[in-house]
Structure 1
Amino acid sequence: MEDGKREILDSPTNSQQTISDDDEIDYTTKPEFYDPDLDDKDERWIHKKRHGLQSDAVLSCPACFTTLCLECQRHEKYLTQYRAVFVVNCKIEGEKVVRQNNSRSRKRNRGKEGLDRSDASSTNIETFKQVCCSVCSTEVGVIDEDEVYHFYNVLPSES
């Protein structure tokens, strides 16, 4: 039994001589890539890019964290969705098209089978194209016919 205790005390995790990485770092020299004014420079850069306009968030790709939009507006009803006109690092997938019937009569006609002929021929059908991150190809949203981007799969950050 005494041998068992001796093995536990002799293990490296219980040793008094264990040295942490913090003990080996020399904090008296400044890091080579440290810039104390970097936050102020970043803030000036973003204000210049936005031309003084405010944004609800800065949007990033959820897979690779690439910046997708610096100026956007949050959806009133769906709080995790955003819309924007000016984007970066986005590509439009032309092959994949999503169509949505945007008529207000959908809820009233829910019990009826099929669509009225007037609904089918009307211009209430919106066409959306899939939008992906240009770096990792993750789907992040759609773009409508008016070239407004609708983001629903993004990481927002306070701006």
Structure 2
Amino acid sequence: MEVGSNKGDSMVESPTHSQQTISDDDEIDYSVKPEFYDPDLDDKDEVWVQKRRKGRSSDAVLSCPACFTTLCLESQRHEKYVTQYRAVFVMNCKVNSDQVFAEKHPKPRKGKRGRTSGESESGFSGSETLHEVSCSACSTEVGIIDQDEVYHFFNVLPSES
């Protein structure tokens, strides 16, 4: 479109030298440090996490997929299902004891290679009582907890630790 061309009944004009466009950057005074900025915060956070882990390693830090609240600093990725994790030490999780899932397995069936398998695809064997686990901040279901108090996460966002 050319400057000064007609578009319908209105005239489109380009800004002249007398009109100044002011951006947000022009209004920010960079000589004053921002009130909530801490240049050492990343280092402080790393020390805090290392203190919590006590030298142990983790496959991923797990967060809630809805509100990004940290749920676990130490987790182990499932060997077969790479989007599933298990953990013992968690935070910001609530166990819904009203939701009880009793996992019962049918008779062992033959696998692809003709062997029988006593373990289901989810990794649970026998008859177990499972409870729903959700994020304490937003109540999004993020996994389950088994009778051995091991958390199994399947609806989380993993990040490198």
TM-score, normalised to structure 2, is 0.78
RMSD: 2.5
C-alpha distance in structure 2 between counterparts of 1:107 and 1:128, whole Å: 26
8 A contact 1:103–1:124 mirrored in 2: no
Identity of aligned residues (%): 67
Q: Which residue of 2 aligns with 1:8?
A: 12
Residue segments in structure 2 that go unaligned for 5+ positions in a row: 112-124
What's the CA shift string for 1:96-115, capped at 9, x where partnerless?
A: 1223235671346xxxxxxx
Tell me the amino acid that sits aligned with residue 158 of structure 2. P
1:69-108 equivalences under 5 Å are 69-102=72-105, 105-107=108-110
8 A contact 1:59–1:154 mirrored in 2: yes
Q: Which residue of 2 aligns with 1:138?
A: 140
Per the TM alignment, residue 69 of structure 1 is displaced from its structure 2 partner at its CA by 0.7
Q: Could you say what secondary structure the match of 2:6 adopts?
A: helix
Per the TM alignment, residue 61 of structure 1 is displaced from its structure 2 partner at its CA by 1.0
Per the TM alignment, residue 81 of structure 1 is displaced from its structure 2 partner at its CA by 0.7
8 A contact 1:103–1:125 mirrored in 2: no
C-alpha distance in structure 2 between counterparts of 1:104 and 1:56, whole Å: 34
State the number of aligned residues: 142
C-alpha distance in structure 1 between counterparts of 2:11 and 2:23, whole Å: 22
C-alpha distance in structure 2 between counterparts of 1:69 and 1:29, whole Å: 37
Q: Does 1:125 align with 2:127?
A: yes
C-alpha distance in structure 2 between counterparts of 1:37 and 1:127, whole Å: 45
C-alpha distance in structure 2 between counterparts of 1:66 and 1:87, whole Å: 12
Q: Could you say what secondary structure the match of 2:39 adopts?
A: coil
Residue segments in structure 1 that go unaligned for 5+ positions in a row: 109-122
